[in-house]
Amino acid sequence: MKIAILGPGAWGTALGNVLAKQGNQVVLIGKKDIYQSINTLHENTIKFPGVRLSDNLSYSINEEESLKDIFYLVFAVPSKAYREEARKVNEFFKKNPPKEKITPISLAKGFDPTSHERLSSVLREEINEEYRNSIVTLVGPSFAEEVIVDRVTCLDAVSLEEKEAKKVQSLFKGSNLRLYTIQDEVGAEFFAALKNVLAIAGGILKGMDQGENAKAALITRGSHEILRLVLAYGGKEETVLALCGIGDLILTCSSEKSRNYSLGLKIGKADSAKEVLAENKETVEGVYSSKYALSLAKAKNIDVPLTEAVYKILFEGGRPSVVLSSLMDRPFKAEEDV
């Protein structure tokens, strides 16, 4: 079975390697030839030096050729690139209609930078239904560094149509990547994006030399904060307890393997975000998501003090030490009212 993956970065390579070892012909699609080592050495020397990749995994800069005769198309690009990539894919299919509808699989955790829409909605809008099945989103506690070396990982396959989620679930049978299915697309995607904001907060706390007590409070109160948004926009409460919910939140709020946490760590140590953001060259989805999360909260008149605190630090020049003090000085409330 042929599978194409847009984006040859860490997550695209790791997931592609799992699928390739299952006997599928997997092609990673990128714009630069810096990943040619995948074809010559069977190694992604940039993201995973020293890790041998499956012979069934290849790399191409020829997107049109790579999209021919595929069954699945994985989006492993940053959220800001989703709409442009989906439009290009749709234009290709207009000229070269697939023999069978393809299944798009979404990996990024964020929102569209212009419309603030969920990413599955972007793919649904931009790729005509005559060319595709229902969108499937893979989310949950996962670091590419562990997936690439076959460490046990569990994710949720999220789709409005359960049969499509089950199809994707079966793709990974026999591997150390185990999938569960879920149909709450709103809850899963909201939590996946918004937990990145809290991961930045977790890193900031660590950088300020706060301890495990503070981290536990952040995870607990943060999950309540996201829950309010999830429910307000039509998601389900039980999703918060899923792998794509609290599972992902615990992981990304606790490890420097998370780009969001690592960025926050630097900000906390510097007690300022300005220079850290200026020097950052990587895609950190939580930075953008903090903007959209605050906008979504204001639209529904929902109090999100932790999200607002991260936004102030990132975009309004707030010093983490001052912002933390203001959070601790908030009026006392019963926990169910917070």
Note whether 57 and 42 are within 8 A (CB).
yes
Angle between the N-to-C axes of helices 285-299 and 259-270, in degrees from 0 to 180, rounded to the nearest 10:
90
- What DSSP letter does each residue of 15-77 carry, written as one string? HHHHHHHTT-EEEEE-SSGGGTHHHHTSS-TTTSTTPPPPTTEEEES-HHHHTTT-SEEEE-S
DSSP string, 162-200: HHHHHHHHHHTTTSSEEEEEE--HHHHHHHHHHHHHHHH
Catalytic residue among 109, 195, 206, 312: 195
CA dihedral 29, 35, 38, 41 (to 10 degrees): 160
| Strand pairing class (153-158; 136-139) | antiparallel
Per the annotation, the verdict on 195 as an active-site residue is yes
Nearest CA to 85 out of 115, 64, 57, 59 is that of: 64
Largest CA distance in the chain: 62
Q: Are 59 and 31 spatial neighbours (Cβ–Cβ below 8 Å)?
A: no
Kindly report the backbone phi and psi dihedral angles of residue 191, in degrees, each rounded to the nearest multiple of 5, phi listed first.
-65, -40
Q: Which two tokens stand for residue 170?
A: 């079966």
Active-site residue list: 195
